[in-house]
Structure 1
Amino acid sequence: MQSIPWDGKTIIEPGIYRGIPLTDYHRFDLCSEVSVSSTMLRGIIGESPRHAWEKSRLNPDHVDDEEQSEAMALGRFLHAAVAAEPFESDCVFRPATIAGHPYNGNRKEWREWKAEQIRNRKTIITPEMASHAKGMIVALGSFPLVQAGMLGGAPERSLIWKDDRGFWKKARPDEIPNASGDYAEIKTTHPPVLYRNLQRTMADRGYYQQAAMVIEGARALGLPVQSFTVLFVENRPPYCVRACTLKDEDIARGDQLNQLAYSMFWQCYQGGVWPGPGDDRADAEYIDAPDWWRKSVDDRVKFFLREAA
Structure 2
Amino acid sequence: MQSIPWDGKPITRPGLYRNIPLADYHRHDLCDAVSVSSTMFRNIIRRSPAHAFTNSSLNPKRGKEPQSEAMALGRFVHKAVAGEPFDDDCVLCPPEVGGKPYNMRLKVWQDWKAEQEAAGKCVITPSMAERAKGMILALGKFPLVQQGMLGGSPERSLIWKDKRGFWKKARPDEIPNDSGDFVDLKSTNSVLYRDTQHSIIEYGYVQQAALVVEGARALVMTASSFTLLWVESEKPHCVRAQTLKDDDLARGHGLNELAAETFWQCYQSGEWPGPGDDRADAEYVDLPDWWRKSVDDRIKYQLRETA
Alignment of 1:261-300 (within 5 A): 261-300=259-298
2:187 maps to which residue?
188
Alignment of 1:78-93 (within 5 A): 78-93=77-92
Quote the Cα distance in structure 2 between the aligned partners of 1:287 and 1:294. 13
1:304 maps to which residue?
302
Residue 48 of structure 2 corresponds to residue 48 of structure 1: yes
Q: Secondary structure at the match of 2:242?
A: strand
Compute the displacement of 1:53 (Å).
0.7
Quote the Cα distance in structure 1 between the aligned partners of 2:81 and 2:238. 16
Code of the residue aligned with 2:38 in structure 1: it is: S
Deviation per CA, 1:241-289: give whole Å up to 9, x if none. 1111000000100100000000110111111111111112111111111
Quote the Cα distance in structure 2 between the aligned partners of 1:179 and 1:95. 41
Q: Secondary structure at the match of 1:199?
A: helix
Alignment of 1:130-209 (within 5 A): 130-191=129-190, 193-209=191-207
Code of the residue aligned with 2:302 in structure 1: it is: F
The number of equivalent residue pairs is 303
Quote the Cα distance in structure 1 between the aligned partners of 2:97 and 2:25. 32
Quote the Cα distance in structure 2 between the aligned partners of 1:87 and 1:233. 19
Q: Secondary structure at the match of 2:183?
A: strand
Quote the Cα distance in structure 2 between the aligned partners of 1:39 and 1:262. 12
State which drifts further: 142-151 or 113-122. Answer: 113-122
Quote the Cα distance in structure 1 between the aligned partners of 2:91 and 2:178. 34
Code of the residue aligned with 2:83 in structure 1: it is: A
Compute the displacement of 1:83 (Å).
1.2
Code of the residue aligned with 1:257 in structure 2: it is: L
Compute the displacement of 1:105 (Å).
4.1
Quote the Cα distance in structure 1 between the aligned partners of 2:32 and 2:253. 25
TM-score, with structure 1 as normaliser: 0.95
Code of the residue aligned with 1:160 in structure 2: it is: I
2:71 maps to which residue?
72
State which drifts further: 21-30 or 241-250. Answer: 21-30
2:213 maps to which residue?
215
Compute the displacement of 1:111 (Å).
3.3
State which drifts further: 56-65 or 296-305. Answer: 296-305
Quote the Cα distance in structure 1 between the aligned partners of 2:107 and 2:195. 41
2:21 maps to which residue?
21
2:223 maps to which residue?
225
State which drifts further: 90-99 or 243-252. Answer: 90-99
1:123 maps to which residue?
122
Code of the residue aligned with 1:170 in structure 2: it is: K
Quote the Cα distance in structure 2 between the aligned partners of 1:132 and 1:104. 18
State which drifts further: 256-265 or 27-36. Answer: 27-36
State which drifts further: 106-115 or 5-14. Answer: 106-115
1:30 maps to which residue?
30
Compute the displacement of 1:106 (Å).
5.3
Q: Secondary structure at the match of 1:87?
A: coil
Correspondent of 2:246 among 248, 266, 284: 248
TM-score, with structure 2 as normaliser: 0.95
Quote the Cα distance in structure 1 between the aligned partners of 2:171 and 2:251. 20
Quote the Cα distance in structure 2 between the aligned partners of 1:239 and 1:107. 31
Q: Which runs of 5+ in 2 are unaligned?
A: none
Compute the displacement of 1:104 (Å).
4.4
Q: Secondary structure at the match of 1:130?
A: helix
Q: Secondary structure at the match of 1:301?
A: helix
Root-mean-square deviation over aligned CA pairs: 1.3
Q: Which runs of 5+ in 1 are unaligned?
A: none
Q: Secondary structure at the match of 1:89?
A: coil
Deviation per CA, 1:208-263: give whole Å up to 9, x if none. 00000000000000100111100111111110011110000001001000000001
Quote the Cα distance in structure 2 between the aligned partners of 1:105 and 1:155. 33
Code of the residue aligned with 1:284 in structure 2: it is: A
Quote the Cα distance in structure 1 between the aligned partners of 2:160 and 2:223. 16
Q: Secondary structure at the match of 1:109?
A: helix
State which drifts further: 243-252 or 96-105. Answer: 96-105
Quote the Cα distance in structure 2 between the aligned partners of 1:286 and 1:226. 44
Deviation per CA, 1:120-146: give whole Å up to 9, x if none. 211111111111111110111100111
Code of the residue aligned with 1:18 in structure 2: it is: R
